[in-house]
Amino acid sequence: MEERARPTEMSAARNIVLGVTGSIAAYKAADLASLLTKQGCSVHTVLTADAKRFITALPFKTVTRHPVVTDLYDEEEGWQPTHIRLADEADLLLIAPATANVLAKLAHGLADDALSCIALALNPKARVLVAPAMNGKMWLHAATQANVATLKQRGVEFIGPEAGMLACGYEGIGRLWPVTEIARRAAELVA
């Protein structure tokens, strides 16, 4: 009989929680989810409320063959809250694209949605890889740079952003790092 993906369980190894936040680059995260899945990772996507303004859950659900978390209160079958199970079983929390807002939330320990709760509840063995994408002034702002420094001190790894033409019309630093390279680094971290 054909082996079917079991949507509510994480596999034993290489579990990636992919957090997608409200950036214009959110559409690129679907490619990233696909690349990671093809690399053999079990990808569990979490969309913030603002990410849903840019992309729907459907492409992620389809390419990863796992349900997508879009609401802290959307609980699946079973007793354990989904965000705690994902945090317990993750090998890597990858946030791509990461907004200035989510960096601030992570740096300050806010927990007002599924993604920020997962980040706080993350098991200590899991690595955290963050790929920021934002307007250059937002990235270079002292507040954002202080949040980045705080997160780096806690062991969070950053990939990008890169310089180039930004969706907001400016040229400069703030573009999401190429998804092929984010996928390659994520695979290295869970190898």
23 vs 70, which CB is nearer to ligand FMN? 23
Site string for ligand FMN, 123-152 (x = CB under 6 A): ----------xx---x--------------
Which residues belong to the active site?
168
179 binds ligand FMN (CB under 6 A): no
Residue 161 near residue 182, CB atoms below 8 Å:
no
Q: Which residues of 50-85 are buried (b: 16+ CB within 10 A; e: fewer)?
A: bbbebbebebbeebbebbbbbebeeeeeeeebbbeb
- Amino acid making up residue 181: E
| Closer residue to ligand FMN (CB): 29 or 87 | 29
DSSP class of residue 3 equals -
Give the nearer residue to ligand FMN in terms of CB position, either 41 or 133: 133
Question: Which C-beta is closer to ligand FMN: that of 50 or that of 89?
Answer: 50
Q: Binding to ligand FMN by residue 70, rule CB under 6 A?
A: no
Does 119 bind ligand FMN (CB under 6 A)? Our answer is no
**Structure-token pair, residue 47:** 């969309």
Q: Does 102 bind ligand FMN (CB under 6 A)?
A: yes
Cβ atoms of 83 and 118 within 8 Å: the answer is yes
Asked if 23 is part of the footprint of ligand FMN (rule: CB under 6 A), the reply reads yes
Instruction: Give the containing element (helix H, strand E) for 58.
Output: helix 58-64
Q: Which residues bind ligand FMN (CB under 6 A)?
A: 21-25, 48, 50-51, 99-102, 133-134, 138
